[in-house]
Structure 1
C-alpha cells in the first residue's frame, strides 16, 4: 500500500521524502497502520478487502496530510486548488459544486481532507458480524 500512497500523493503534487527512516516515511507507515487497523476494526476482518483498497489509500493520504498540516510541516497556501471543477455535466445530469470566490486555500485544503478521509459508510458492504 505504501507505493500506492506515494503515487497518490505525487498525483496531487505533493512530494514525499522516500529515504528510509525519514520523517515522511515513518509518518506514512504509521498512517497506513492506523487506517488499516481502523478499517479492520470497522469490518471485523483481518485484511482490507480489495474493494476498499482505493478508499484506504485516500484515507492514508488524508491522515498524512492532516498530520503534516497539524505539525506545521505543510504549506497549504502553496497547493493549487484552481483545477477543481465547479460544474460537471453528463447528458441531462448536471452537478454544480459550491465554489466561493473568497475561500482561502486552507478552507479548500480542509474540505479536501474531509473528502479523502471518507466516512465509514463504505465499510458496510464488507462488515462481518462477530459474536
Structure 2
C-alpha cells in the first residue's frame, strides 16, 4: 500500500487510494467473517469481505442476538486470494486478523458517492484461539 506523501498541486489523486489516519478510528483486532458472502473483483485482484467486530459479535451471539441485523465492516483483501476462494467454496465462517490494515473511503456504487470507510489489507490470517 502506498504511504508516500502527496503534493498539494497533484490533480491525479484518486480519493479511494488515500489512506486516512488510522488513529482516528477504533479498529478491532479481530473480525468475524462469513466467507460464503465474500465477493471477488472482476479482474480478480481483490476479495471484498463483510465483517463484524469479533469481540462484539461473540458476546451478542452468546446473548442470543441475531447477528444478521448488525452493520458490517467492509474489508478489501489484495493477497492470498486463492486461499480466500477456498474459504468461500467451503462456506467457512471464521475469526480473522488483518495485517497492517489501512482505512480508506468507501465508494457506494448505488448512490454514486463516497459513503463511509473500509479497511484495506494485503493479508489476513485466521485467528488462533478465538
TM range (shorter): under 0.3
More helix by share: 1
TM-score (norm 1): 0.26
